[in-house]
Structure formats: structure tokens, C-alpha cells
Amino acid sequence: MLNDSSHNDNEPSIVTSYPEQSIDWLTRLIAFDTVSRHSNLALIKDVKTYCEQLGLLVDLTFNEAQDKANLFVTVPAGKAGGIVNNGLVLSGHTDVVPVDGQDWTSEPFTATIRGSRLYGRGACDMKGFIACALTLLPRAAELSKSGQLKRPLHLALSFDEEVGCLGAPLILADLKARGITPDYCIVGEPTNMTMVVAHKGIAVYRCRVHGKSAHSSLTTQGVNAISYASRMVDFVDDLAQELSVRHDGDALFDVPYSTLSIGTIQGGTATNIVPNLCEFTFDYRNLPHMTQEDILAPIQAKVAELSAQMQARAPETGIELLQEVGVPAMTDSDSAELQQLIAALTSDNKRHKVAYATEGGQFTNAGIPTIICGPGSIEQAHKADEYVELNELERCDSFLQRLLDSCC
């Protein structure tokens, strides 16, 4: 049962009508604790049962441990059992970020309405969109059975987006194996129902410097891992500065150039010991027209140069460069038709580009034109008291209904 708490003077005034079905679904979805470190199978099983009750065929793909699954369901064009191999994908991730250490006013895994907002972990990122998409399915199934649906409608729900977009590649590989090549994809990340046409890519690297220990009074017998790590850090910072003054930026991004940033560093055991290990992490946020190779090649050359210097003093030393996360940028180079469709449905011609990454880049890399459009604000994501405005759910419901009509 949805908890409708008393009105707070600091909250917006309560709205007079709610999108009831989407609220019911969002309440149901929030109740599943799908923090990325946990299984999402209970949620997936619930959605699978619902889809099968509508007469839809559901396909699941699992992670290696078999404790997480993606769900892909198709409403075929024409009468039931008709065309399934193209169409439009509505995409969302089922995992959410942790609530550890956050000061929540209400229970994070119990949907709570205060004023005109629904609070709960995942309310905007991104179970709100999934709730609206699930609300749409019964009407889509009816249109399919009556033969009015001329373009298939797909729903893709993934796992582990928040920890590196790990689930979506399995969906895409499965679609390729089954010969399904969707025409378009809409990723329902929170954008306040505005159209995001591109985002940067993300690559996270760990640089591990292996030195040789010695007493600090005998420094010539050791190789100082921290000292060599600091040279690598300086090199990465210099490269970041070079990226910031390139002449091929994109003013539609808040930060109009690709960025490099040192994130963590640790090393050493005591002041009187030459450290034998130091490691740091950095991330690269690339504009869609740039690649990882643009920074990886010069960094690898610097790694080789410094490793050679270290190994001249002690053969067992050197520097490792390990990639921990890689999420491709989402490009707008092939989505002009989709953008025109979304602009017409939303009566909004504005195009936005963002620095955060989504599964949209994986869809565009697979040759599927993609945009991002969903209810809620990214500013509310990942925080205590995460919420979505109820009128955003209403706007999303209306948008998806018009989108479905366009498939007829």
C-alpha cells in the first residue's frame, strides 16, 4: 500500500489527480531492494509473470552467477505472433545505488507520497520510467491483437547499470543472435521529459606502480613507487590540460571538452620505508567524436618510459595500467529521424547533451539510433530522499501513449 504521509509546508502543494497505475507500479518496483550488490531476480520474476499474463513472450539473459537477469519482452506488430524483428525499444535498468550512510526522512524501499512528490530509492533513477512503460503494455498488447500495431514495441530491463553498464551488452548480444534489429531506442533515464541526444563516454583506469622496498636510509637500494606514481599523476594532469584547450569541443555539453580526473591514490607503509607499491585511479570522460585511444596511447607510452627507468634499477619493478570500467559515448550522428519524432511528440525542439553516461552508448554502438528521455531530474538521483514529481509520471504516461500511437 502506498504511504501517503501528511503534507509538509516545505513540499509543493498536493496535486489533484495522480497517474494511478504508474504510481501503483512504481510502488511495487521500489519495494524490491535491487541495490547493485543484490540480486534483481525477484523484480524480474514479478515483471515476467505480468508480461506473460498479457500473452507476451519474455526472454531472459543471466549473469555468470545466475543471480541477476535482464528481461526483454516484445509486443509484436500485427496480430499476436507477428513481426518482432524491428520496432522501438523502451530501455531501463532495474538496479539502484545504495542507501548506506544516507539520512532518509522515510523508508527508502517504501514508496511515500509527500505533497506532489513520490519518494523512494529508484523513484527517478529509473524505476519511474519502468513503471510508466509497464503501465503501457496492456494497451500495446490489445493493439497488437487487433492488428493495429504496425511497429513492434520492446521493453528491455537490465541489471548492473550503476556499476558499469554490465547487463545491456548481454541483451544486445542476444538480440543479434535472434536477428532482432530495433529501429530506435529510448532510454528512460531522468531528464525531466526533455530530449537528450548525446552523452560522453566513461573509462576508469587503475594505475598500479610496483617499486622495491628498502630502508629509507638506503634509498639507492630501493625503487620508490610513490615517486614514480607522482610522475604518472603529473602526466595525466598535463594531458587533461591539453584536452581542455583543443579546438574540437562541443558547446552543447556543460563541460565542452573531454576530461581526465585523478580519483583516488594510496601507497606506502611507513615513513622510514621506501614504498614498494602505489596505485591511483583516474577517469576519462570523452566527447562522442573522441575515443579512449586518444588518451590511452600517450599514457601507455609514458608507462613504458617510466617502467624502463625503474627496471634498469630493479627488474621486478614496473607499472601496470588496468581498465576497470568502459562505457561508450552516445552519439547523435544517426538519430535525426528519432529526434524529429520525439520533438513532435513532446512539442519541444530542444536538444541536450550530458556528461553522465547511460546504456544509450551501448545501443548506439550496436547501430540502434537512441535518445534519452524520462521522468524526474538527475539532480535527485543517488541522494537521500530521492523523489519523482507525480506530474512527471503523468507527462511520461502521456508521452508513451503518444509514442505507442505513432507505432500504429
Delimiting residues of CATH 3.40.630.10 domain(s) in the chain: 3-198+329-406
Question: How far, in Å, CA of 354 to CA of 221, rounded?
Answer: 50
Fold annotation for 201-327: Alpha-Beta Plaits (3.30.70)
Delimiting residues of CATH 3.30.70.360 domain(s) in the chain: 201-327
Question: How far, in Å, CA of 127 to CA of 189, rounded?
Answer: 9
pLDDT in tens, 334-349: 999 999 999 999 888 8
For residue 16, the model assigns a pLDDT of 41
For residue 80, the model assigns a pLDDT of 60
pLDDT in tens, 343-378: 999 888 899 999 999 999 999 999 999 999 999 999
**pLDDT level of residue 84 (50, 70, 90 thresholds):** confident
- Tell if the pTM clears 0.75, that is, is over it: yes
CATH ID of 3-198+329-406, from 3.40.50.300, 3.40.50.10540, 3.40.630.10, 3.20.20.120? 3.40.630.10
242 pLDDT above the threshold of 80:
yes
Helix (H) or strand (E) holding 208: strand 201-210
For residue 18, the model assigns a pLDDT of 62
Share of the chain above pLDDT 90, in %: 92
Looking at residue 152, the DSSP 8-state letter turns out to be: -
1 pLDDT above the threshold of 70:
no
153 pLDDT above the threshold of 80:
yes
**pLDDT level of residue 246 (50, 70, 90 thresholds):** very high
For residue 82, the model assigns a pLDDT of 82
Give Dmax (Cα) for the chain. 85
What value does the mean pLDDT take over residues 98-122? 97
Would you state the cell numbers that stand for residue 141, as one nine-digit string? 498488447
Residue with cell 506532489: 116
Residue 117 · residue 128 · CB < 8 Å: no
pLDDT in tens, 2-60: 444 444 444 443 344 567 999 999 999 999 999 999 999 999 999 999 999 999 999 99
Q: How far from the centroid of its chain's Cα atoms is residue 288's Cα?
A: 16
Burial class (CB in 10 A: 0-12, 13-18, 19+), 402: middle
Q: Which residues are catalytic?
A: 95, 161
User: Angle of helix 127-145 relative to helix 390-406, nearest 10 degrees?
Assistant: 30
